[in-house]
Amino acid sequence: MTSADTAALYPGTGEPDRLAAARLGATADWRVYDHVRAHGRTAPAALAGDLGIRSEEAEAALARLTERHLVHRDPADPCRGTALSPQAALADLTAEVEARIAAETATHQQRLAVLREDIQRFTRLTHPGVHGAEPDAVRLLPDITAVQALLQQEADRCRDEVIACQPGDVSRNPENLEPALVRDRALLERGIRMRTLQQHAVRFHGPTQAYVAAATALGGEYRTAHELFGRLIVFDDTVAFLPADTVTWGAVVVREPHLIAYLRGIFEQAWTHATAFVDTTTLGAEALEEAARDIDTTLLSLLADGLKDETIARRLGLSLRTVRRRVADILERLGAESRFQAAVIATRTGLFDTPADTGTPPLPGE
């Protein structure tokens, strides 16, 4: 999403632009932070003289560090200050942002409640004999049993194409892949085109590799990306399945044509930028190494954004144990003592700056 898109959704905030302007990562940031921690001096001119940098650089770095609560200037003496640990700074920022999110969420929930009530009132007016009935355009399936039954019905009726996006943790039960392959085989043998998006992590999951190899041999198409937009299945551009929750594994079934067209547009954009997933026995190690580097670079970026391991695991479709192991490995390869320092090193060495069409640079030590 661009800053213009965000501004359209949240007019008058200017928040994304302000945060972008204060993004940490320049070499001067680390040097100024280290110097304040050691000497407690926060006067830009003094910092510039001690570090051998321009006064403007020192002032800009100090502003970024202050913005991120990494440096606190003494209210009584602006030339003096203290440096907080990254963990303490993150705790302060997290509390600030969470309070703001809670306030905004409450506002949006109130707006949603009003919109829902308006639509329900309109539905009752236009269909006076069907009070409380769900419109056919959107229907809620309460549990996995109902979802699987309707999925099978729609698969049997399908005549043209199925598109699916299936992000998630590859530690799921491999036995679930067998009934999926039975359903997919029936579709492919009828000449139905099937395209599926998954995450890079599945390239390292044996049962999924075997499943993809078998389905690809029948004509299925599979691509992977480091992050995906969410779970989705669409049959013939007439019915779409969206997740309802992860407790009952219910689903929202959509038949409204404009909404389905919008969902297909999101899928096609992700499909265009994804990488083909073919049989690893013919692909070789190079593509697997590239996918691993892509995962690690994205993981570093998420660490730099201050996300927790649990959130990163969900975003990348990895188990929590795998995320923590890869983080430890990345810190060791970068020679960093903390996640904050790893993000600084990654920014300084250009790991976040490589355009998508030129490939992902290797981490130091690879």
Q: Given this model, what pLDDT does residue 56 score?
A: 86
Residue 355 tokens read as: 């355009």
Q: Given this model, what pLDDT does residue 223 score?
A: 92
Instruction: From 64, 79, 61, select the one nearest 51 (Cα to Cα).
Output: 61
Q: Given this model, what pLDDT does residue 196 score?
A: 93
Annotate 147-199 with DSSP letters as a single string.
Answer: HHHHHHHHHHH--SEEEEE--S-TTS-GGGHHHHHHHHHHHHHTT-EEEEEEE
Output the CA–CA distances (angstroms, integers) from residue 183 to 173, 177, 194, 230, in the order listed: 17, 10, 11, 21
Residue 65 tokens read as: 């560090």
Any idea of the CA torsion for 287, 291, 292, 298, to the nearest 10 degrees?
160
Cα gap 193→290, rounded to integer Å: 28
Cα gap 47→35, rounded to integer Å: 8
Block residue for tokens 């290797």: 362
Cα gap 209→168, rounded to integer Å: 15
Cα gap 162→264, rounded to integer Å: 11
Q: Given this model, what pLDDT does residue 130 score?
A: 42
Q: Given this model, what pLDDT does residue 174 score?
A: 55
Residue 136 tokens read as: 């056919």
Cα gap 179→184, rounded to integer Å: 9
Which DSSP letter does residue 135 get?
P
Block residue for tokens 């302007």: 21
Any idea of the CA torsion for 308, 310, 312, 314, to the nearest 10 degrees?
-150
Q: Given this model, what pLDDT does residue 120 score?
A: 64
Q: Given this model, what pLDDT does residue 354 score?
A: 45
Q: Given this model, what pLDDT does residue 242 score?
A: 94
> Which regions of the chain are under pLDDT 70?
1-26, 116-136, 169-179, 205, 246, 278-295, 317, 346-347, 349-366
Q: Given this model, what pLDDT does residue 195 score?
A: 95
